[in-house]
Chain A
Amino acid sequence: MTTQSILLDDLERDALTELVNIGVSRAAANLRKMVGEQVLLSVPAVEVVTREGATTLIRERESGELVAVRQDFAGVFSGRALLIFPQSNSMALVHAVTGGALSVADAADMEDEALAETGNVVLNSCLATMANMLQRPLTMSLPEVIRGDGSKLFHLSPETSDGGVVLFLYINFAVNDRDIRGYIAMLMDLPSLHALKGLIADFIERVVGDA
């Protein structure tokens, strides 16, 4: 028996995946408006893993340096949302969202700002959609651009006493016809997962009702 199956039953896990799917689909539609090309999404993966496990999941796919836009969210449940992509894709994304309007030097100067704004739009539309469906407000921190490997990206602070287990949700995305791809990821620690479990049960009750 895995930790995951203890924490979420099949229908709760299904409901969470569907919530994330709807959230990232909205986010992709907004990212599409920014980059002017279709954004392709994978089906979300929902796992309960240690932080090291989350790091490993990304590292298995990405050996190089990563850049991420990070926003922490807080409310009945709290955690961290990340838009992650290989550092080598970063400038291509900046060019895509600025529509080629900037010179190479200006684009380089604008890199972090453009990344932060892109992350802000994508992560907010995803989280706001989920918050609306769960009928609980979430507050979002300002976006912050970080660079490094998975362990730096997924280090939630302050350190909790849950043995480092987190709910880890991730989706691959790619921008059609451009060399841009990455991940939208969310991490929540165990107290948040328990709160989220309650909200998911309420959500299921609301949408399923007496069906």
Chain B
Amino acid sequence: MGTTVLIVDDSKLARIVLGKTIAALQPDWTRVEAGNADEAIAAFDAQAIDVAVLDYNMPGRDGLALAEELRERFPTMPIAVATANVQDEIISRARAANATFIAKPVTEEGMRGFLSGAALRLRSAAQ
């Protein structure tokens, strides 16, 4: 089974940038997109998703609320929250949900650690 990553961001441009960065680092992964938290939940109901990358500041539920919700449902899924909002509370809430914090603007450097860690976890879980 291949790996599917869900990209959740209200900005289409940000989804393109995230998708491009993920494609450069993990070209074999299948990428699916959602524009808000509700669409993200619908995507999880519709298909198997292995990894989630969430924007923080979105209309409706924000990325941290979504991360907390997903964490309850998927205790081991690799989740990242991307934001330029590097406030201590936001970073520690991401950490409490066992989500990786990724700084925006997103770069390959910034994404590499999360994606390779996620790939490793998924491989070892599959064995």
Residues in chain A within 8 A of chain B (CB atoms):
10-11, 14-15, 17-18, 21-23, 25-26, 28-29, 32, 38-39, 41, 43, 129, 133, 176, 204, 207-209, 211
CB distance from A154 to the nearest CB of B (A): 25
Compute how far the CA of A15 lies from the CA of B83 in the bound complex, rounded to whole angstroms: 15
Task: Closest B residue to A171 by CB, please name it.
Answer: B57
Whether B50 is near chain A, meaning CB under 8 Å from some CB there, is no
- New A-B contacts (14) at CB < 8 Å, excluding given A11-B12, A25-B56: A21-B11, A22-B104, A25-B83, A25-B104, A26-B84, A26-B85, A32-B87, A38-B88, A41-B85, A43-B57, A43-B58, A207-B16, A208-B17, A211-B23
Mark out the residues of chain B between 65 and 84 whose CB falls within 8 Å of any chain A CB in the assembled complex: 83-84
Mark out the residues of chain B between 83 and 113 whose CB falls within 8 Å of any chain A CB in the assembled complex: 83-90, 104-105
Mark out the residues of chain B between 32 and 54 whose CB falls within 8 Å of any chain A CB in the assembled complex: none
Compute how far the CA of A129 lies from the CA of B11 in the bound complex, rounded to whole angstroms: 18
CB-defined contacts of B122 to chain A, threshold 8 Å: none
Partner of B85, one of A10, A15, A29: A29
- Which of A10, A14, A25 gathers most chain B CB within 10 Å? A25
* Contact in complex: B20, A211 (CB < 8 Å): yes
Grouping DSSP codes into helix (H, G, I), strand (E, B) and loop, the A interface class, with mixed when no group exceeds half, is: helix
Mark out the residues of chain B between 1 and 37 whose CB falls within 8 Å of any chain A CB in the assembled complex: 10-14, 16-17, 19-20, 23
* Contact in complex: B105, A204 (CB < 8 Å): no
CB distance from A39 to the nearest CB of B (A): 7
- Which of B10, B11, B19, B83 gathers most chain A CB within 10 Å? B11
CB distance from A16 to the nearest CB of B (A): 9
Count B interface residues, CB 8 Å.
24
Compute how far the CA of A28 lies from the CA of B57 in the bound complex, rounded to whole angstroms: 12
CB-defined contacts of B16 to chain A, threshold 8 Å: 207-208, 211
Partner of B12, one of A14, A29, A32, A209: A14
* Contact in complex: A18, B20 (CB < 8 Å): no
Compute how far the CA of A7 lies from the CA of B57 in the bound complex, rounded to whole angstroms: 25
CB distance from B13 to the nearest CB of A (A): 5
* Contact in complex: A204, B57 (CB < 8 Å): no
Whether B59 is near chain A, meaning CB under 8 Å from some CB there, is yes
* Contact in complex: B105, A29 (CB < 8 Å): no
Compute how far the CA of A208 lies from the CA of B17 in the bound complex, rounded to whole angstroms: 6
CB distance from A175 to the nearest CB of B (A): 11
| Complex A-B: 17 CB contacts under 8 Å | A10-B12, A11-B12, A15-B11, A26-B84, A29-B87, A32-B89, A38-B87, A43-B10, A43-B57, A43-B59, A129-B84, A204-B13, A207-B105, A208-B13, A208-B17, A209-B20, A211-B16
* Contact in complex: B85, A18 (CB < 8 Å): no
CB distance from A174 to the nearest CB of B (A): 13
CB-defined contacts of B58 to chain A, threshold 8 Å: 43
